Structure 1
Amino acid sequence: MNDSARCILVMGVSGSGKSHIGRELATAMDADFIDADDHHSPLNVAKMTRGEPLGDEDRKEWLTTLSEFFRHHCLQERDVVIACSALKKRYRDVLRQGAPALKILYLRGSREVLLERLNTRGAHFFAGERMLDSQLQTLEPPDDDEAICLDVRYSPKAIVERFLVQLTSR
């Protein structure tokens, strides 16, 4: 597998801005962008729409699919940014199977800021305080050795710029 492709995971709980930041980052890098939410099974979407959190078994096939996207891009030597919650370390480990040199941007925010964002965004299958609380309970935040952690209160432009600067200095 070729490590010349840059494979980036933009992770965080719902409301952190993963999709928006991921698109901006992909544009800045001239990379492909994949929103992991677009690849949930209909059963998973239905479950989340009902306000039911996904379990590890629900996420298994989804994470494998995303890992394969990373693998494909590495083999094609094409840069890619994938926005995915990747709440647990073992989920991120599955993603790394497709891209061993995976770089991670973790979008960190307080519950209050995240809830405010969720309450003001348009239609999305993920909704509600209960679902956010479930994600926050499940979250195993990456440490500084695993990811570049940036606060969601920065502007999207500032987050992208800071991440790219830190990425090149690592």
Structure 2
Amino acid sequence: MDNAARNATSPSVVVVMGVSGSGKSTVASLLAGRLGWEFEDGDDFHPAANVEKMQAGHPLTDEDRWPWLAAIAAWIDRVRAEGRHGVVTCSGLKRAYRDVLVGGRPDVRLVYLQGDRELIGRRMAARHGHFMPTSLLDSQFRTLEEPAPDEDPLVVSVGATPQAIVAEIVETLKGPGPRTA
């Protein structure tokens, strides 16, 4: 589906992506609340072994990520099949990962929370109780393949407040023409 056709379709699911510490969970939960949609945190789909590996300061490999991505994709497909709407988070660092989540699903929209290493590092250092240590942020940026224009991402800077980011996302999802958002 080309970008014009995708933009004319109201999303069933929004995938909020970005490196750890970019604000995915905060923005996605606020967005879901604003839209009256379901919210799922992609971190909750990680098997225990992945969480333990990250807590120990070891980055995940592609092999670690495939079952996690498949579980998120299954949730997306369930929401779509049941005619519901949802917002889910996922780092989605590589194109191949995003293809698992969004590929072939014209009613799934990608929102990329974009920010620089310094700002996101400060935010990660200030948060408490998250399993992802700040020491893994550099590996996240090394792995990150920013979404290409043909993926039709909605790119939003993380420099604003979460409320302003959500307002920008909602306004863009409304776009010209009929929308449910």
TM-score by length of 2: 0.87
Structure 1: unaligned runs, 5 residues or longer: none
Output the amino acid matched with 1:153. G
Could you tell me how far 1:98 is from its partner in structure 2?
Answer: 7.6
Contact 1:31 1:79 in 2 (8 A): yes
Identity of aligned residues (%): 41
Cα offsets for 1:92-138 (capped at 9, x unmatched): 11012584421011001110001000100011110123x10000000
Residue 128 of structure 2 corresponds to: 122
CA RMSD in angstroms comes to: 1.6
Contact 1:67 1:98 in 2 (8 A): no
Counterpart CA distance in 2 for 1:156 and 1:118 is 15
Structure 2: unaligned runs, 5 residues or longer: 1-8, 177-181
SS of aligned partner of 1:82? strand
SS of aligned partner of 1:140? coil
Contact 2:21 2:123 in 1 (8 A): yes
Contact 1:5 1:77 in 2 (8 A): no
Contact 1:4 1:77 in 2 (8 A): no
Counterpart CA distance in 2 for 1:52 and 1:21 is 26
TM-score by length of 1: 0.93
- Taking the TM superposition and a 5 Å limit, the aligned residue runs for 1:16-35 are 16-35=22-41
Residue 141 of structure 2 corresponds to: 136
Residue 94 of structure 2, aligned match among 70, 88, 91: 88
Residue 67 of structure 2, aligned match among 53, 61, 85: 61
Residue 5 of structure 2 corresponds to: none
Output the amino acid matched with 1:10. V
SS of aligned partner of 2:145? coil
Output the amino acid matched with 1:133. D
Counterpart CA distance in 2 for 1:5 and 1:160 is 15
